[in-house]
Amino acid sequence: MTSAIRLPVLAAVALTGLSLTAPTQAQQATMSFFVTSVGKGNGADLGGVAGADAHCQALATAAGSTETNWRAYLSTTEPGGVAGVNARDRIGKGPWQNAKGVAVAKSVEDLHSDSNNINKQTALTENGEIVSGRGDAVNMHDILTGSDPQGLYSTAGGDTTCGNWTKSGDGSAIVGHHDRSGLKDTRHMNSWNSSHGSRGCSQDSLKGTGGAGLIYCFLAN
């Protein structure tokens, strides 16, 4: 009975030239938020924010997005206390949805409020896949942001952006937990964008605290 039902369906797909993956591709075409499936491979050295933006763009395009205004959710700082760039100011106005069409935030204000919908089940990659987190065999929940909870560049002092995303050795960068989970049940450990500083900027240092050099990408509209 099952075979009798499936064969006509498959035959119809073949005759019409349709793909069984078409619904997923259609969702990815309207995707406006994702976590990168891979880092750039050189720790927190992303080639600056321009290199990070290009990484977002390349992954989104490969996944089927036709949009060309992808931006990395990263803040930067300047020496001597000069004002930096806020991650929240780089990503447009929203709303944003993941590769499965699930909304994660309605606006910048919503994104940085307790009502946002970023968690392990919704912070998917550009391919619509879940990123492993705390409790999994490989933990990659540390997402580079360089930001405070409101998406602003940090005024805490010291290196919080691995040299504005150009270092792969000494230094540190603020990370968030995409799965909203950490060693303790605290506000920082449960923060998607501002949990703690990394041990260093190298790939191994990022792995040491549960990261892989991944970043959040948003479609700036």
pLDDT tens digits, 158-204: 899 999 999 999 999 999 999 999 777 778 889 999 999 999 999 99
Q: What is the overall mean pLDDT for the chain?
A: 88
**Strand, helix or coil at 174?**
strand
pTM of the model: 0.86
State the Cα–Cα distance between residues 3 and 209, nearest whole angstrom: 49
Q: What are phi and psi of 29, to 5 degrees?
A: -65, -25
Q: Over 70: is that where the pLDDT of 21 sits?
A: no
174 and 145 Cβ atoms separated by less than 8 Å: yes
What is the maximum alpha-carbon separation in the chain? 73
> What's the whole-number mean pLDDT along residues 68-79?
92
Q: Over 50: is that where the pLDDT of 23 sits?
A: yes
Q: Binning pLDDT at 50, 70 and 90, where does residue 136 land?
A: very high
Q: Over 70: is that where the pLDDT of 1 sits?
A: no
* Residues 95-109 pLDDT 10s: 999 999 999 999 999
**Strand, helix or coil at 214?**
strand
**Strand, helix or coil at 53?**
helix
Percent of the chain with pLDDT over 90: 75
In this structure, which amino acid lies at residue 120?
Answer: K
Predicted local distance difference test score (pLDDT) of residue 185:
76
Q: Over 60: is that where the pLDDT of 210 sits?
A: yes
DSSP-derived secondary structure letter, 131:
P
Q: Identify the bridge partners of residue 216 per DSSP, sorted by sequence position.
A: 35
CA 8 to each of CA 13, 20, 207: distance values in angstroms, whole numbers, following the listed order: 9, 14, 49
96 and 218 Cβ atoms separated by less than 8 Å: yes
